[in-house]
Amino acid sequence: MDFTEKRIDRKTVFEGRIINVYNDTVVLPDGKTTHRELVEHHGGVCIAALTENGGLLFVRQFRYPYSKVLLELPAGKLEKGEDPLSAGMRELEEECGVTAESFVPMGEVYPTVAYCTEIIHLFLARGLKKTKQHLDEGEFLSVEEIPLKDAVKLVMDGAIADSKTVALVLKTEKLLSEGRI
Task: List b or e across 141-167, with b for residues whose CB sees 16 or more CB atoms inside 10 angstroms.
Answer: beeeebebeebbebbeeeebebebbbb
User: Max CA-CA distance within the chain?
Assistant: 58
Do the beta carbons of residue 27 and residue 5 sit within 8 Å? yes
* Cα–Cα nearest to 48, from 175, 156, 137, 161: 175
Q: Does the annotation mark 137 as catalytic? A: yes
Active-site residue, selected from the candidate residues 79, 137, 139, 145: 137
Active site residues: 137
